Structures are given as structure tokens and as C-alpha cells.
Amino acid sequence: MMDFVTVAAAVAGSVGSAVIFHPFDTLLTLRQTSMSASCILPFQQYWRGVTISALMSTPAFTLSLVSYRHAKKVFAPYFGADSGLNYIASSVTADIVSNVLFTPMENIKGRLQLKNGPGIESTRELIVNIYKKEGFRSFFRGYWMGLMIYTPNSVCYWYIYENLKTFMRQRNIEQWRDDIASHNSTSPISSSRDLTATQYALASSIASLGGETACNFLDIVRTRQQLALADEIKRVRPDDQHGLLTVARNLIKENGIVRALFKGLHIRLMYALPVGVLSMVIVEKIKPDIDDDYEL
């Protein structure tokens, strides 16, 4: 049975983060594809693709979160409710499901973000042109590469995030017991299980930092592969459309191995950290993910 409170929480978290931090996402796409090294763009270009991002990232993020939480419950009898194996299996399941929506969104949004100047297509015109010229399958270009990237990123994120929540919750309980022993608190034990917004934000920040840094290079390759058929990319790197190895080779040749690994990472973190914090704080405060059998 679908948890509609979780759905509502996911929608609220996704819409806010997708719109507020979209300019950073645009800068990241341009930096990853080497289409622009400047952070100064025409104002309109910062917001290209925001409509499709808000429309599709919301159901995609909602599907991901609902799938993750539901999978945790399904896998709990086999792996344990709060085990690393459960976090890993649940995050893999959520990625396989949600990438069906994330992949076409990234393809459409990325092409819109590359465009600048007069005569720019609308979102609808772009979608129609992609379908006519490249076919329906083009919307899902990079799906498998997306799984290769998002799955380890997601596994890393959820594993760190969940363990930090457990650690903080245990510390809260210990503090509650100390306060009760010294007669400084009369609050019920259940209140110690609830983390503060600051604690959720800290857990999400650390988890995002680990996941985004570890998968930065693969995400650049994925972005370049997805956008390889865009006119703007074909003019500067026509051979990117030949495959992943060609994309990776061009990236390393262009930047060197070390710079390629961390290309655009600072902008990536400027986007991922606040997005992760805002979305998860909203979600967790509306619908905390607390196991009813959590051991006190």
C-alpha cells in the first residue's frame, strides 16, 4: 500500500529543491560538457530546463524515495531493518525504478541548458524534434550508464545517511537517559528518536559529499554521452556519439586524468549539497523514516 504521507513529503522536498537550485544545475551541465567555463551567463540561461526539471524530477524523486522506503520494509525480514545490506539492496531497487523517469528528464533538460541565443526551441518543440530525428529510444539514452553512476552514488549516500541517523538517534537517546537520571527532562522516550532539522541536514551533507565526490567522473561521462547527439556537442566533439570509451578518452585527453576526475566538482557540490539538505529535511520532518521496532 502506498504511503501517501511519504509521497506528499517527497513532492514538497523535490519541487522546492529542483526550482531553487536549478541555476547551479545549469552551470554544472555547461562545465561538464566544456561548453562554458564561466559562471556568468545571461539570466535566462540559468533557468533553461527548469520546467521539465520541476515536472519530471518531482515524480522521479518521489518514486525513488517511496521505492526506497518500501524496499527497506520488504527486505527487513531478510537483511534486518537497519543493516547495511538492506540499505544497499533498497537503494539499488529505487535506482532501477526511478531512472526510468530521471533519464529522459536529464536528456531533455541538458539539451535545453546547452542552448543560448535567438531562435531557441521551447521544451515542447525540443521534445518533438528529438522524437522525429532520433526516435523514442533517444530519450532513454544513457539509462544503463545512469544506473552505473547513480547506483554506487545512491548506495554510498543512503549507507552513510542511514548510519549517521542511527548514530545521532543513539546519541539522542543517551542524552535523554542522562537528562532523566539528573531530573532535567520529563519528555517521553519517543521524542529522543526524532532528529532535529540540523541533524538531518548534517547527515545529508556528509552523505552527499561522499557520494557525489566518488562518482563525479562517471557522472561527467554519463552527461556527455547523453548529450552527444545535441547540435552544440556535435560541433565541438562529433566523435562523442561513438560510445562511452570515446567519451571517457576525450575527457581525459582534454583535461588530464586528475583534472578529469574532479572536473566541475565544486559546482556539483554547490548544487548537490543544498538540494540534498533541503529535500531530505523537508521529507524527514514531514514523514520521518523511523522503524516502529527501533531498539531503544
Tens-binned pLDDT, residue by residue, of the chain (296 aa): 446 666 776 676 676 677 778 888 888 888 778 766 566 777 777 778 888 887 787 788 888 888 999 999 999 999 988 899 999 999 999 999 999 998 998 888 888 888 765 556 788 888 999 899 889 988 998 888 778 777 888 899 999 999 999 999 888 888 877 777 776 655 555 455 678 899 999 999 999 999 889 888 988 888 888 888 888 888 888 898 888 889 999 999 989 999 998 988 888 888 888 888 888 888 888 888 765 444 44
Instruction: Report the pLDDT value the prediction gives residue 35, as an integer from 0 to 100.
Output: 67
Quote the pLDDT of residue 72: 93
Amino acid identity, residue 44?
Answer: Q
Report pLDDT for 1: 43
* 41 phi and psi angles, rounded to 5 deg: -130, 160
Q: How far apart are CA 90 and CA 13, in angstroms?
A: 20
Q: Residue 32 belongs to what H/E stretch?
A: helix 22-32
* H helix and E strand count, the chain: 13, 0
- Residue 237 per-residue DSSP state: -
8 A C-beta contact, residue 163 and residue 184: no
Instruction: State how far the Cα of 271 lies from the Cα of 35, in Å rounded to an integer.
Output: 18
Helical residues (DSSP H) of 37-193, grouped into ranges:
43-46, 50-79, 84-114, 123-134, 143-181
Cβ neighbours of residue 243 under 8 Å, at least 6 residues apart?
225
pTM over 0.85: no
Residues 6+ apart with CB under 8 A from 44: none
3-state secondary structure of 87: helix
As a whole number of angstroms, the distance between CA 67 and CA 99 comes to 12
Question: What are the C-alpha distances in Å from 39 to residues 29, 161, 165, 274?
Answer: 11, 31, 35, 18
In 3D, which of 133, 128, 127 has the Cα closest to residue 112? 127
Upper half-sphere CA count for residue 65 (Cβ side, 13 Å)? 27
In eight-state DSSP terms, residue 238 is G
SS3 label, residue 227: coil
Residue 295: what pLDDT?
A: 46
